[in-house]
Each structure stands twice: as C-alpha cells, then as structure tokens.
Amino acid sequence: MLVFTVITIFPEMFASPLGHSILKKAQEKALIAVHLVDPRSYTTDRHHVTDDYPYGGGQGMVMKPEPLVAAIEDIRARSPHARVILLSPQGAVFNQRHAARLAQEKELVLICGRYEGVDERVKSFVDEELSIGDYTLSGGEPAANVVIDAVARLIPGVLGNESSAVDESFVNGLLEYPQYTRPEDFREMKVPDVLLSGDHERVRRWRREMSLNLTRERRPDLLATAPLTQEEKCRTLAVQAPLYIALLHYPVYDKNGQVVTSAVTNMDIHDIARAGKTYGIKGFYVVTPVKPLQKLARKIIDHWQEGYGSQYNATRKEALALARISDTLDDVLIDVERESGEKPLLVVTSARAGEKRASFTALRDMLRNNTHPFLILFGTGWGLTEAIFSQANYVLEAIEGTHGYNHLSVRSAAAIVLDRLLGQY
Ligand SMILES: C[S@@+](CC[C@H](N)C(=O)[O-])C[C@H]1O[C@@H](n2cnc3c(N)ncnc32)[C@H](O)[C@@H]1O
C-alpha cells in the first residue's frame, strides 16, 4: 500500500477527486490510503494562525514555518522513510518518470502551499519540490491531486486492466496513438481499416507508427529521450528536406575587407565531411575556382576514396564520399537542382550578428516540415561577401558563445550548426 499524507489548510478540496472512480476503488481495495493533515492542528496560538506578512513588504501572506515543520516532523517520527514533497511552481516539472519513481515509495507527504507560498526555510525539511507545470495555481491542492492520481494509477491492481498503463502517452516516452470505438463510420469519418483487420501485428505496427508521427509533430522534445530503435531514430529524427552544404573559398573577405580567394585546407575537408556524414547531409561541396587548389582537394579526397586511405580507414572513406569539388556557387546550385529535382533554398551563415536572421529553431522546423532541398553556405577567410548574402533566402543567426570571443574555425562552426539544426533535442 502507498500512503499519501497531504498537508493542507483545505482538506475538503480532496473529497471529490478521491471519492470517485479509480481512486475511490484503490482506497477501498487498500492499495492506497490518503491522510489529510491540517497544519492548523500544529499551531500553538489561540487563533490557529498559519500565515503571516512577508518580510521586506509586498502583497499577500506567507505560510509560517512552525506549523508546517511541526507537521512534517510528526509524520517523520512515525514514518522515518516517508518522502516529503513540497508542491511549488519553482520545483522540477512533474512528469511520468517522476510518477513511476514515486510509485515505488511507501509513503509520500505532499505539502500544499497557499497565498504567496511557504516560508523559504520550510524547504530545508523537504526531500524535493515538484511543480505540475509552468503556471501559477492559487494553492498546492490541485497539484497534490494531480500527483496522487498519476502515481496511484501506476500501483499494481489500481487500474482494472493492467496493460492500459503500459500503452498510454508518456509511459514509453511517446504520445499515445489515436483510439477509436464504435460506430465504425461517424459522420463519414471511418475507423482506419487496419484496426478492423484483426491482424495484431499490423495493428501494433500502425499504432507504433502513429505514436512516432504524432510525437514528432507535436512534442519533438520527447523523441530525444524516448527509447527508439536505430531504424526508428533515423526515420523519426532525420529531417525531411534534402540538405547540402558548401564551403566557399571564393568570394570571401580578407581581414582588410578585400574580396579574395582563400586556401583549401585538408582539415576543413575532413572535418566537415565527417560532421556532414554524422548528420545525414546529402552532399558537401568544396568551392574554389583555383585549379591548383581544386587539384589539391581532389588529391585529398581521392586518397581516402580510392587510394591507400580507403583501405586504411573505411569510415573516413564513407564521409569523404560526400565531398564534391565545384568552381562556383552557381555550379553548386545547378548540381543540387540536377540531383534533387528542385532549386535549393539558400541559407548563409555568418559569425556577425545582424537583423532579420533566421533562428536555429525556425530553420530546424523548416527542415523538419519541408521536402524542399536546402543548401547551407559556410565561408572561409573573414566570411562570405555581401554579393553572396544578397542571393540568400535565409541568413542564419550567428553562433554566440558565452564570453564574447567569436572566432570559431569554419569546421567547428559547421559542426555546431549541423548539431543545432539536426541533432537530437
Ligand atoms: C499562488 S502560489 C505561490 C506562488 C509563488 N509566489 C511564486 O511565484 O512562486 C501558492 C501555492 O500554490 C502551489 N502552486 C502554485 N502553482 C503551482 C504549480 N505550478 N505546481 C505546483 N504547485 C503550485 C504552491 O504550493 C504554492 O506555494
């Protein structure tokens, strides 16, 4: 049995939620018990005062520490292992994982604040603080009811059908698939055929697929921690849009603001190709009009594609298979269009902060929800020129660190950009 002991100045607020349906039955079956403790009974003054004015001034009242702490200590003296939780908007946001953890306990003490909250010093006597969401309630009672409900239904025997707690939203880290009941046809909206097929394996696969799609669409944040197979990860987390990247060595600025051609470097080719392969990029263009530099780039790529490097390191061979050499940006645009069937949307990157930048989140959403090809440009030297900026469909916001230093190498910047746009968050 799991005992919930609720410390509240409004015990009546629990009568209805606990007096019906599943929670009522759980108490009748002695799977849970709920004790309500009024902190007023721990006051020593004649008027049973539980609140007082805030030090430092300001509106409202604050719950006094003495009655609350006396109640906690009394409960702890009787149940030393009780886990004491303060419901508070400043706590960790309560979720299914918290519920599963708390369902393992023998006794939970839930403290409901009121007014402007509880005296800060009460927090030294609790094990944790939990919030039920990013909004402010008038008191902890609705929050305590939420915690009791979510925890109790995980206790074996509380739900009539044990498996219903296994399939539900959040239990497996995903949102639940759509459910249907009779009639088969409601206002010309039909129940999906697969659910009428009687083929359990097909139904299971359909439900999993729906769950994944719904979660991807509505709560992509859940996908980062949901247990997915490798194949599901590729399918669900991969962006829809074919994504290409290009490293421009011309036209770029030098430190005096002159338009120049920069040198091709071995490390950029390797590292950007490897980052590109990690994040599922379709092609990585090394752009320079200078023939000897093209020859150098070709030599590096061929070494790992066909030469000794290809036998020495197979994964490097895989990454460098993405690398292509082009004379100009126009050639890249033509090549991407030829391969993907559409002219790509051009995204330029820059270390300089500026107005009208597409945020990483906005571009991430576009890549997830679009099937149109995108080409992201990275500049060498002191950055891409105005002429290139003027061709862009989007200018991506700059990567900003935390200490004002803003001189990343292009290969580091490319890795960070790819992770922000395509990584698992
Ligand atoms: C009006 S609130 C106090 C808000 C407090 N002044 C603040 O801004 O953090 C009164 C009580 O309601 C409860 N409460 C309010 N919002 C909550 C939430 N999102 N989750 C859990 N408890 C909440 C807490 O017990 C809190 O002490």
Per-residue pLDDT reduced to its tens digit, 234-266: 888 888 899 999 999 999 999 999 999 999 999
d(CA 192, CA 185): 10
Q: State pTM to two decimals.
A: 0.83
Q: Specify the CATH number of the domain 185-236.
A: 1.10.1270.20
Cα 186 to its chain centre, rounded Å, is: 36
198 backbone φψ class: left, alpha, beta (φ>0; ψ -120 to 50):
left
Q: In which band, very low, low, confident or very high, does the pLDDT at 162 lie, cut at 50, 70 and 90?
A: low
Tell me the three state secondary structure of residue 21: helix
Q: Which sign, positive or negative, has the C-alpha torsion 259, 263, 269, 270? A: negative
CA distances from 352 to 49, 247, 259, 408 (A): 59, 17, 17, 12
pLDDT exceeds cutoff 60 at 352: yes
d(CA 372, CA 54): 58
Gyration radius (Cα) of the chain, Å: 30
d(CA 254, CA 43): 75
pLDDT exceeds cutoff 80 at 174: yes
> What is the model's pLDDT at position 425?
67
**Closest atom of ligand 1 relative to the 139 alpha carbon:** 12
Say if CB 394 and CB 417 are below 8 A apart. no
> What is the model's pLDDT at position 163?
57
Percentage with pLDDT > 90 across the chain:
87
Q: In which band, very low, low, confident or very high, does the pLDDT at 309 lie, cut at 50, 70 and 90?
A: confident
> What is the model's pLDDT at position 225?
87
Residue to mutate (ligand 1; options 62, 88, 134, 147; most atoms within 8 A of CB): 88
The type of residue at 2 is L
d(CA 174, CA 176): 6
Tens digits of per-residue pLDDT, 89-129?
Answer: 999 999 999 999 999 999 999 999 999 999 999 999 999 99
Whose Cα sits closest to atom 17 in ligand 1?
89
d(CA 23, CA 120): 32
In our burial notation (b when 16+ CB lie closer than 10 A, e otherwise), range 255-285 reads eeeeebbbebbeebbbbbbbbbbebebbbbb
Task: Report, at the CATH architecture level, how domain 2-152 is classified.
Answer: 3-Layer(aba) Sandwich (3.40)
3.40.50.2300, 3.40.1280.10, 3.40.50.300, 3.40.220.10: CATH of 241-422: 3.40.1280.10
What is the whole-number distance in angstroms between the Cα of residue 121 and the centre of ligand 1?
16
**Closest atom of ligand 1 relative to the 118 alpha carbon:** 27
Average confidence score pLDDT of the chain: 95
Q: Terminal CA-to-CA distance of the chain, rounded, Å?
A: 38
What is the whole-number distance in angstroms between the Cα of residue 118 and the centre of ligand 1?
9
d(CA 140, CA 323): 58
Taking residues 321-330, report their average pLDDT.
98
pLDDT exceeds cutoff 70 at 81: yes
**Closest atom of ligand 1 relative to the 135 alpha carbon:** 19
> What is the model's pLDDT at position 171?
78
pLDDT exceeds cutoff 80 at 169: no
Say if CB 416 and CB 408 are below 8 A apart. yes
Percentage with pLDDT > 70 across the chain:
99
Is the pLDDT higher at 415 or at 236?
415
Residue 332: half-sphere exposure toward Cβ, Cα within 13 Å? 30
What is the whole-number distance in angstroms between the Cα of residue 311 and the centre of ligand 1?
63
> What is the model's pLDDT at position 240?
83
Residue to mutate (ligand 1; options 87, 90, 111, 120; most atoms within 8 A of CB): 87
What is the whole-number distance in angstroms between the Cα of residue 139 and the centre of ligand 1?
6
The type of residue at 412 is S
d(CA 104, CA 154): 9
What is the whole-number distance in angstroms between the Cα of residue 86 and the centre of ligand 1?
10
Residues with CB under 6 A from ligand 1: 87-90, 112-114, 116-118, 131-133, 135-140, 143
Strand ranges (DSSP E) for 77-234? 83-93, 107-112, 128-131, 185-186, 189-190
Q: In which band, very low, low, confident or very high, does the pLDDT at 205 lie, cut at 50, 70 and 90?
A: very high
**Closest atom of ligand 1 relative to the 63 alpha carbon:** 27
Q: In which band, very low, low, confident or very high, does the pLDDT at 224 lie, cut at 50, 70 and 90?
A: confident
Taking residues 308-312, report their average pLDDT.
87
What is the whole-number distance in angstroms between the Cα of residue 325 and the centre of ligand 1?
60
Helices (H), 219-328: 220-223, 230-237, 266-278, 291-305, 308-312, 314-320
Tens digits of per-residue pLDDT, 206-218?
Answer: 999 999 999 988 9
**Closest atom of ligand 1 relative to the 132 alpha carbon:** 20
CATH 3.40.1280.10 in the chain, residues? Answer: 2-152, 241-422
Taking residues 168-182, report their average pLDDT.
90
> What is the model's pLDDT at position 172?
86
d(CA 419, CA 41): 56
Whose Cα sits closest to atom 6 in ligand 1?
116
DSSP state at residue 403: S
Q: Which sign, positive or negative, has the C-alpha torsion 396, 401, 404, 410? A: negative
Residue 97: both structure tokens together: 């994982």
What is the whole-number distance in angstroms between the Cα of residue 70 and the centre of ligand 1?
21
CATH 1.10.1270.20 in the chain, residues? Answer: 185-236
Taking residues 266-281, report their average pLDDT.
97
Whose Cα sits closest to atom 18 in ligand 1?
89
What is the whole-number distance in angstroms between the Cα of residue 335 and the centre of ligand 1?
58
What is the whole-number distance in angstroms between the Cα of residue 222 and the centre of ligand 1?
26
Residue 269: both structure tokens together: 């080719």
